[in-house]
Chains A and B, each alone.
Chain A
């Protein structure tokens, strides 16, 4: 006979203000099996846990029900607590009377009624619970980092420093990401290249890191500690091991009019190319879309000039398969396409540029060698207007069709705009600069001071208000906006307009999230396991988040998060073995008819079939085919239990009998 204790938590006023906790505790006293029932202010506190432990000893409890917050929050806390008092941790049930009860109504009567029903269901289930023990699995001591920008590089370096092997997958020919394209960084104005390229070299030279550039993740299976990943290595038509990066091929290539992605298409590159001088790995790549040899079978010049014999026109995409203990997502961001914003004339004038394009125009390694020249006529602009929040902080009525922009603040634009303005003024003191803003947001160390410098020391004109229209006319850009502080229309005859376009997650993120079975929010940013307490872990065990893929953030924050993700990975890889989920499926072999349906639905490949000999009642033996669950692989999702036609498959901790008892208790 089970002896159950019920503990009702007030959660301060979170629960007690809406649920009559004393009435709940009292109602539970009458439930079958309950020998003790009480309430307390904070059950999760030290004192609350002690109360539970003491009661277990005092009343000889065999099972415990805690009526409190979501099990996501504190199931583990209480499992540990009752384990310390000598109970099996699975002899615990949580009745969630906060998130799904007290928080969703102000009506004390109905909330109390629902709390009692939920508590009763938990009691009905815990009576049927049986002690469970977990198995263990080994951990593969190798990590996969997806994305070779500053986030991915930092994570890879930190994991490698701890002595673990890391594979760094990057879809582009070189690692470096967006940071390698920036000119200088706020608020210190140190050159982005000067700090990111040494890091790229460190990554390239680290013995524990293998760079898989020009590659993409194709398939992921497995689970924490034991992921199986298939990686597509796109054919670059150049042997990475032989290529010395001399660049002779890029000079001789006859196809020289290919838009240069690294410079945001502001100039051209050759068809066989090295994206930029400091690229890592510094090897050439043939762009198969334009190569004459690949498309028409004529040319072959790069092959002729290559001293190393690295060119291979017959190369094919290759797939490699590898096992990993942990995966870090660092897929970064893109700026949104601004051609939906016709009022800013981006597609009508080359002198309207995005902030990242402006970054390349300022960069000494950019298309203009760092001279600020208008794309249209190559003249120095005298008057430049920045428009903030292009596509950021945009609200829309969802009944009126899809939004143009994003509802969130892109976070970095205010600061990089101040930086771009200061740098422009530094190089060209006689320029006249205007910034149209909704709010200037500068929370961060030395950030507001930096912005004030732009306003006070550099005389950048900040105008609170939005631009309504940009019109190209006679080689100028007529900017029409409103100054909300003066309450006036402003007309500016500008030479250039810079759009601080919103940031969005990389388009590669969503398919990846599907492969990894991780969650994303409505904006396609990866969702962290807990917004405050587990910011670098995804809700899927063994998948970690680093950088902009989780939300807009600047370089220092990205690096901090990258190192935090690395610390989590190291913590995981250090473990000798992982404790498995004890709530796994198990077949009742006497009932199993060998139909294989469970095998088909199992997403983890945990179910196999074996031929087994059974003794029949008449003492003969019979060989039957029955299901077998690999408990190390089973994640306890329960798909097999609902599929099984004969009801042979059951889930430990969530057995059919236990669930039905809960339902019965609720429907009483």
Chain B
């Protein structure tokens, strides 16, 4: 299976691990992630003002590129996924946005109306490969590890657009944790916000949030939490000291279980 892959800026810099482990795991599972040529930043944050079109254009280019290649588009970064999937939904369903975006893109010879299927790497694992096949490919089952999934806010919401899992009571990462042989820990704060960009302005906010998240995970027995979001990872890691909880990317845990971590 060949997929168009949109890594995003952070995965080329701060979150190189998230990217590398993800690619290695995909390869081991027989999925080829073909990086979109000349991709640009997704826009960073999905613009909430309805008439902000320019920010959405780079996502549309990536989406059109995947369509022209005849592939589904895969992302790993929660934030990129959120932006691209929502822009895709706009292009399919919001005539106002799609007309204007297409007017901009005429110069590039692009016309796009939401044809591409956008999936997160987790959905690729669950729906296209199947967790049973992931389980079968595991070489080093992570027996005894107690791992809490940390979803954050962007991965699942808005739930009607992301349509990946139940936004309030998700299972997609927990099921992956089970597949790699570890024990999933369900805790209340797993889909709360980590404080996100406030880390730039007032780091006491993410600090408070992260303490509450990690303490809650710890209280429920987790020794590790995994995330798909570079910003969550940054915030959690920064304030994890003294909590007794290790913060990792879900791709790292997966690569470890598949026995491809060392090869890198």
Contacts and interface: CB of A to CB of B under 8 A. Distances in A.
Contacts of B188: 469, 471-473, 478
B168 A343 contact: yes
B93 A399 contact: yes
Interface in B88-140: 89, 93
Contact of A469 (B160, B163, B192): B192
Interface in B49-106: 89, 93
A342 B161 contact: no
Interface in A396-421: 396-397, 399-401
B13 interface: no
Interface string A467-482: 0010111000010000
Given A342-B166, A342-B168, A342-B169, A400 B192 contact: no
Interface string B186-209: 001100100000000000000000
Contact of A401 (B160, B167, B189, B192): B160
A397 B160 contact: yes
Interface string A444-480: 0000000000000000000000000101110000100
Interface residues on B, range: 10 to 19
Interface string A341-379: 111000010000000000000000000000000000000
Contacts of A348: 169
Contacts of B89: 400
Contacts of A401: 160, 163
Contacts of A472: 188
Interface string B161-180: 10100111100000000000
Interface string A557-591: 00000000000000000000000000000000000
Nearest to A471: B188
A273 B169 CA distance: 37
A339 to B, nearest CB: 10
Contacts of B161: 400
Nearest to A470: B188
Interface residues of A, number: 14
Contacts of A469: 168, 188, 192
Contacts of A342: 166-169
A301 B211 CA distance: 61
A401 B168 CA distance: 17
Contacts of A473: 188, 216
A343 B167 CA distance: 9
A394 to B, nearest CB: 12
A472 B186 CA distance: 12
Interface in B22-48: none
A534 to B, nearest CB: 39
A116 to B, nearest CB: 36
A234 B69 CA distance: 62
Nearest to B188: A471
Contacts of B166: 342
A660 B89 CA distance: 48
A511 B89 CA distance: 36
Contacts of B93: 399-400
Contacts of A343: 168
Contacts of A471: 188-189
Interface in B145-161: 158, 160-161
Contacts of B160: 396-397, 400-401
B211 to A, nearest CB: 14
B72 to A, nearest CB: 21
B164 to A, nearest CB: 13
Contacts of B158: 400
A478 B189 CA distance: 11
Interface in B200-245: 216
A478 B169 CA distance: 16
A396 B158 CA distance: 12
A479 to B, nearest CB: 12
A2 to B, nearest CB: 52
Contacts of B169: 342, 348
A396 to B, nearest CB: 8
Contacts of A341: 168
Nearest to B167: A342
Nearest to B94: A399
Nearest to A473: B188
Contacts of B167: 342
Contacts of B216: 473
B219 to A, nearest CB: 8
B206 to A, nearest CB: 15
Contacts of B189: 471
Interface in A617-648: none
Nearest to B93: A399
A472 B169 CA distance: 13
A478 B163 CA distance: 27
A397 B90 CA distance: 12
Contacts of B168: 341-343, 469
A471 B189 CA distance: 8
A399 B92 CA distance: 10
A120 B93 CA distance: 43
Contacts of A399: 93
Nearest to A344: B168
A231 B185 CA distance: 54
Contacts of B163: 401
In the complex, which of the residues A342, A343, A348, A396 has the most CB atoms of chain B within 10 Å of its own CB atom? A342
A257 B188 CA distance: 32
Contacts of A396: 160
Interface string A378-397: 00000000000000000011
A478 B219 CA distance: 15
A396 B160 CA distance: 10
Interface in A318-359: 341-343, 348
A34 B158 CA distance: 64
Interface string A516-551: 000000000000000000000000000000000000
A466 to B, nearest CB: 14
A328 B61 CA distance: 60
A625 B163 CA distance: 63
A169 to B, nearest CB: 40
B28 to A, nearest CB: 34
A348 B168 CA distance: 12
Nearest to B92: A399
A478 B168 CA distance: 15
A237 B24 CA distance: 67
A321 to B, nearest CB: 48
A400 B167 CA distance: 15
A473 B188 CA distance: 8
A340 to B, nearest CB: 9
B249 to A, nearest CB: 25
A395 B235 CA distance: 34
Contacts of A400: 89, 93, 158, 160-161
A642 B163 CA distance: 47
Given A342-B169, A400-B161, A469-B192, 10 more contacts: A341-B168, A342-B167, A343-B168, A348-B169, A399-B93, A400-B89, A400-B158, A401-B163, A472-B188, A478-B188
A-B residue pairs, 4 tightest by C-beta = A342-B168, A400-B160, A471-B188, A342-B169
Interface of B: 89, 93, 158, 160-161, 163, 166-169, 188-189, 192, 216
24 contacts: A341-B168, A342-B166, A342-B167, A342-B168, A342-B169, A343-B168, A348-B169, A396-B160, A397-B160, A399-B93, A400-B89, A400-B93, A400-B158, A400-B160, A400-B161, A401-B160, A469-B188, A469-B192, A471-B188, A471-B189, A472-B188, A473-B188, A473-B216, A478-B188
